[in-house]
Homo-oligomer: A and B are copies of this chain.
Amino acid sequence: MKLPKNVTIKEVGPRDGLQNEKQLVLSEDKIAWINSLSETGLSYIEVSSFVNPKWIPQLADASDVLKGIKRNKGVTYAALVPNIKGLDRALEAGIDEVSVFMSASEGHNRSNINKSIGETYPVLEEVVKEAKMAGKTVRGYVSTVIACPYDGYVKPAQVREVADRLFSMGIDELSLGETIGVGVPNQVERLLDELLPHFNASQLAMHFHDTRGTALANIVKSLEMGITTFDSALGGLGGCPYAKGASGNVATEDLLYMLHEMGIDTGIDLNLALKSAQLIERTLGKSLKSRQMEILRAEGKERIS
């Protein structure tokens, strides 16, 4: 197998993970969690989202959280920004990197941001331009890269078109979101076969949800195709908005186990990551469902040091 020596993991738990939790988490608890994440060796944490607080009450405290955390110089702190208003808030709070987002499918784009894909481009273009002028790097997110809960399968060419537009705006990296966790490795291959002739593998990240247990298999296929950046959430947080109770993002700790066992370096300490997962587990008051957390419970290590 052709495998990279190093992989970058971008922790999206504080945003994509908590966003799906009904129970409101206190800002101070989020801050404590992000501070513990900052000590694991992670180089990137998506801390929150500067969408309209009415849309996602759980993340209404984005500014407080970003201002409250203890910054680790080795970590990039990022957040989602839907528009100029959100960008102003994010910049004021001292964000390191700005993430803009849209979907590859009309149905999900409309449902998620209430605009057609065509109407979304100019909004994002303005955000990217302003963020760049403020000296920030920008990450693009494209959702539903394999299938959409409304429109069904999404053609790789459709994803390429969105990717083209976002890179033309000046984004630095594009995260390809398999939002509903239905994808399998040969579909990932088909998608990357369409994208890799046009974009550098180092500018692409894969964002898998593990709803059907295929995320690690999809990551291995991506690795073999040259992708070296992956999004994940500690504890597999994130759920599935289309099947409440089902699994969420691929769990950071399960991904770490696999990568390390494959001889791939991430710079992250698995034990510290597990400790951080147990912290947010206590905050949420529920058992996190990753395999690594299951094993800790099976071994009676409910609170590792």
Contacts and interface: CB of A to CB of B under 8 A. Distances in A.
Interface of A: 1, 3, 182-187, 189, 210-214, 216-217, 219-221, 240, 243-247, 251, 254, 257-258, 261-263, 290-292, 294-295, 297-299
Contacts of A258: 184, 212-214, 217
A248 B240 CA distance: 24
Given A183-B261, A212-B257, A217-B220, 7 more contacts: A187-B261, A211-B291, A212-B254, A213-B257, A213-B258, A213-B290, A243-B298
Given A257-B212, A258-B213, A186 B263 contact: yes
Contacts of A189: 1
Contacts of A245: 294, 297-298
A291 B212 contact: yes
A3 to B, nearest CB: 7
Contacts of A243: 295, 298-299
Contacts of A295: 211-212, 243, 246
A246 B216 contact: no
Contacts of A212: 254, 257-258, 291-292, 295
A220 B1 CA distance: 13
Given A1-B189, A186-B3, A221-B220, A246 B213 contact: no
A218 B221 CA distance: 11
6 contacts: A187-B261, A214-B216, A214-B261, A220-B220, A245-B297, A246-B298
Contacts of A183: 261
B185 A244 contact: no
